[in-house]
Structure 1
Amino acid sequence: MAFLTVDQLTHAYFSTDSVTTALQDISLEVEEGEFVSFLGPSGCGKTTLLSLIAGLFQPVLGTIIIRNEPVKHAHEQIGYMFQQDYLLPWKTIEQNILLGLKIQDNLNDMSKTLTFELLDHMNLGHTKKKYPHELSGGMRQRIALVRTLATNPKLLLLDEPFSALDYQTKLKLENLVFTTLKEHKKTALLVTHDIGEAIAMSDRVIVFSANPGRIKSEYIVPEHLAKMEPFDVRNHEDYKDIFQMIWEELNELEVEN
């Protein structure tokens, strides 16, 4: 059985005088250790799907299963990384990265040591006593990644985590996140508007149509590209072909909308 199964998922938002269907009949499977990206026009429900998988709210119809458990019983297996780092400004970096462990009552000498080792791996061991405002945006996003991974989630949800960064920092972080997740054998879902980012980081790219959000198509990233670091993928001669195919499909979807 797949690590993550989404089966016939439909979700709608209700107001006093209307119903807006955000997602309709979404079914997909993700294998353990796989990296899958979601692309599509604005309003196609990508972030809504991520929120449903995170268990932040319940779908109108359908089921989400993680490791044979309904998602509501598997929330401790999930880590969520947002576009903003959401570090607490009044706490030091050390306090921020240990916060999830403390909330889960899993803070002990071993988990603390592993978290600090991860911070060192990100070349940020020197920041422990600093506060978020003393760090750059790229550094804060790396701290947010450490905080997310510290609780050892089995599934990592990434909601446009690099979109607020300058391009050079974004490329560096893509490589860092990719290699870190592969080293720790994490399963990941990425919501992005960046076609290149989706191709460079993923094993599969799923394209959504909008109004309501449905799965339109799926692209398997060639195995030789999926094994490479994102920066190298962007410079490979085969990258432009899959980029062109996805770009043309997204362009058609935008015209239809």
Structure 2
Amino acid sequence: MTFLSIDSIHHTYFSPKTATHALSDISLQVEEGEFISFIGPSGCGKTTLLSIVAGLILPTEGTVTLHNKPIKQMKKKLGYMLQQDYLFPWKTIEENILLGLSIMGNLTEEKRNEAHMLLKEMGLEGVGSSYPRELSGGMRQRVALIRTLITEPQLLLLDEPFSALDYQTKLRLEDQVFSTLKSFGKTAILVTHDIGEAISMSDRILLFGSKPGHIHTVFEVPAPLKEMMPFEVRNHEAYPEFFQTIWKELEKLESRID
């Protein structure tokens, strides 16, 4: 059984005077445990598709199913991690992490202990009683990831979660997120503008074309790179050539836009 199925998605944004075709005939199958990245020129519909998968936007045409059930029925099985961490500044780190469980009425002592364990695993031991303003950007994003994982989502949707961080923090966080998701066997979709990030974290990379958004090319990440940590991937001999292959395809797309 396919884990996630995206079938014949078309989407148009309507206004009183215009109709903007954002996506055209998007079909994709994602297996459980896969890490997929969406890359492409600005305005090619990557985030629109992610929002449709999240059930935040109803597509004009087509269906999205998780375990053969409509995505609208499976929203509680999804986790969303954004560029901004959206931690509540007046709540402690522990309160922020457990807020979703508390709202759903699923907060238990076992879950509280799990939160402490995840904080320790992510190098954040002892910060549970701190407030977001006392943490760095990278630490806050790790908290956001823990807040997402604690609800036990089956599918994680990552919308440029590292783009606001400095480069060193970004590289360290890529490694931590990658290893954490692998250890939990999570399935993830990442939207990014960073080809290196897509290569280092993914099993497959989907390059989108625009006007309207469509899947232009699917790249299978070379097998040796899939088994490595993201930082190690960038130093592997297969990395530069694969990067250039994707870069050249992206340049072709962007030149058509110009």
Alignment match, 1:8: 8
Matched, 1:133 2:115: no
Q: 8 Å contact 2:41–2:208 — kept in the other structure?
A: yes
Alignment match, 1:220: 220
**Matches of 1:2 and 1:218, distance apart in 2:** 18
Alignment match, 1:232: 232
Alignment match, 2:72: 72
Matched position secondary structure for 1:23? strand
| Larger mean Cα displacement after TM superposition, 24-33 or 125-134 | 125-134
Alignment match, 1:156: 156
Q: How far off is 1:102 after superposition?
A: 1.1
**Matches of 1:34 and 1:14, distance apart in 2:** 34
**Matches of 2:56 and 2:125, distance apart in 1:** 32
Q: How far off is 1:27 after superposition?
A: 0.1
**Matches of 2:69 and 2:145, distance apart in 1:** 25
Given the two structures, how large is their TM-score scaled by the length of structure 1?
A: 0.99
Alignment match, 2:247: 247
**Matches of 2:211 and 2:134, distance apart in 1:** 42
Alignment match, 2:21: 21
Matched, 1:101 2:101: yes
**Matches of 2:49 and 2:203, distance apart in 1:** 19
Q: How far off is 1:78 after superposition?
A: 0.3
Matched position secondary structure for 2:126? helix
Alignment match, 1:121: 121
Q: How far off is 1:125 after superposition?
A: 2.1
Return the letter of the residue paired with 1:59. P
Alignment match, 1:110: 110
Alignment match, 1:91: 91
Gaps of 5+ in 2: none
Return the letter of the residue paired with 1:189. I
Q: Runs ≥4 in structure 1, deviation > 4 angstroms?
A: none
Matched, 1:202 2:202: yes
**Matches of 1:83 and 1:41, distance apart in 2:** 18
**Matches of 2:118 and 2:211, distance apart in 1:** 41
Q: How far off is 1:109 after superposition?
A: 1.2
Return the letter of the residue paired with 2:245. M
Gaps of 5+ in 1: none
Return the letter of the residue paired with 2:256. E
**Matches of 2:223 and 2:109, distance apart in 1:** 40
**Matches of 1:109 and 1:135, distance apart in 2:** 25
Alignment match, 1:32: 32
Task: For residues 17-60 of structure 1, give each alpha carbon's deviation from its aligned partner in whole angstroms, at most 9, with x where no partner exists.
Answer: 00001111100000000000000000000001111100112111
Q: How far off is 1:112 after superposition?
A: 1.6
Return the letter of the residue paired with 2:22. A
State the number of aligned residues.
Answer: 257
Q: 8 Å contact 2:156–2:187 — kept in the other structure?
A: yes
Alignment match, 1:167: 167
Q: How far off is 1:130 after superposition?
A: 0.8
**Matches of 1:154 and 1:3, distance apart in 2:** 9
CA RMSD of aligned residues (A): 0.6
Identity %: 60
**Matches of 1:73 and 1:112, distance apart in 2:** 27
Task: For residues 213-252 of structure 1, give each alpha carbon's deviation from its aligned partner in whole angstroms, at most 9, with x where no partner exists.
Answer: 0000000001111110000000000011110010000011
